[in-house]
Amino acid sequence: MQNDQLEIRLPAEWEPQSAVQLTWPHEHTDWAYMLDEVIPVFADIAAEISKREGVVIVAHDAAIVRSQLRKDTIMENVCIVEEESNDTWARDHGGITVLINEIPYVVDFCFNGWGMKFAANKDNCITRRLYHHHQIFAPNVGYLSQLHCVLEGGSIESDGRGTILTTSECLLSENRNEHKSPAEIEEYLLSIFGAKQMLWLNNGYLEGDDTDSHIDTLARICPNNTILYVQCKDEEDEHFYDLKLMEDELKKLRTQDGLPYQLFPLPMPTAIYDEDGERLPATYANFLIINGAVLLPTYGQEENDALAIDQLKKVFPDREIIPIYSTPLIQQHGSLHCVTMQYPKGTIQISTI
């Protein structure tokens, strides 16, 4: 079949899903020193997802994970598979699903630990092992190896209609795809995702972020040509200037129809620091959209948490907004969206889905 006969589409996150993948913390990950704090967060995420769709859990030890799940988890919607992992950031080592002539294909990109910052040899094998060694994918689902290209799921946002939003800081960083020019990277990604335009943000960052400014920590494409984004109002905050420049860029972005996006700011959480005094990348933009709900990371900041919930209610009036206390997650420099990867409807087969 010729490429011009292929209809390729990267679904939006708010489209119907079959399941969400989690890669569970264990004693051989960087979470070892704080498992008692972080596992309840993973259990909260798994329980809420299981009430609405499937949950695929990649586990070092299935029996241990089963004992750690909440009692209200809908177990018939949960599939636990044993595979080795370096860490737990499924958004970045998980497969990215595209639809080719409406047939799901799981695209397996290379994950190299965010530009070779951290070990990723085991994580980089998870997607192909899930596809070839476990019966979790529907029979018609295809697999595309793109291991020649480094790409993390947290670095791109899709509206499901041919627009990709990303950051130059990440996609053009060293130790990812430095052998490709910016034009070559854009051309390749537009082709593999069947997209028509790529929107680049050149500003915006979070202190403590290891990903080189993943878009899912800063700005998120949402239904009806809206974008939820992080706004900093405190002129004394180190992020103020750069996030203001990002806001100015967002105001200039246009849809494929030439229209401006509706922009909804999210508050900047009050600074949170680790025990060494290093600032952690707390962000409300790292929410997860699932069937009928949005899971929002919260940080025990009553006013800011409430403001973020209110903004999400405006953008997702037909979905339940579910706060998930996520301060333990940012201790390892990510948040809620970073530990998840959604699979569109028809991709994962769990008995009741």
pLDDT at 352: 44
Whether 165 has a pLDDT exceeding 70, the answer reads yes
For residues 104-132, average pLDDT: 96
Q: Which fold has domain 3-344?
A: L-arginine/glycine Amidinotransferase; Chain A (3.75.10)
Q: How confident is the model over 84-95, as pLDDT tens digits? A: 999 999 999 999
- Say which residues have a Cβ less than 8 Å from residue 1's Cβ, sequence separation at least 6: none
Q: How confident is the model over 205-247, as pLDDT tens digits? A: 999 999 999 999 999 999 999 999 999 999 999 999 999 999 9
pLDDT at 148: 94
pLDDT band for position 174 (cuts 50, 70, 90)? confident
Q: How many residues does the chain have?
A: 353
DSSP classification of residue 281: -
For residues 119-148, average pLDDT: 96
Q: How confident is the model over 20-53, as pLDDT tens digits? A: 999 999 999 999 999 999 999 999 999 999 999 9
Q: Are 324 and 49 in contact, with CB atoms under 8 Å apart? A: no
pLDDT at 5: 78
Whether 184 has a pLDDT exceeding 80, the answer reads yes
pLDDT at 4: 60
The set of long-range contacts for 183-190, using a CB threshold of 8 Å and a minimum separation of 24, is 188/149, 189/151, 189/156, 189/164, 190/164
- Cα 261 to Cα 60, 156, 158, 257: the distances in Å are 43, 17, 14, 11
Please state the pTM of the whole predicted model: 0.96
Which burial class, exposed, middle or buried, applies to 292 when counting CB atoms under 10 A from its CB (0-12, 13-18, 19+)? Answer: middle
Residue closest to 228 by CA, chosen among 250, 202, 213: 250
DSSP classification of residue 267: P
For residues 157-174, average pLDDT: 96
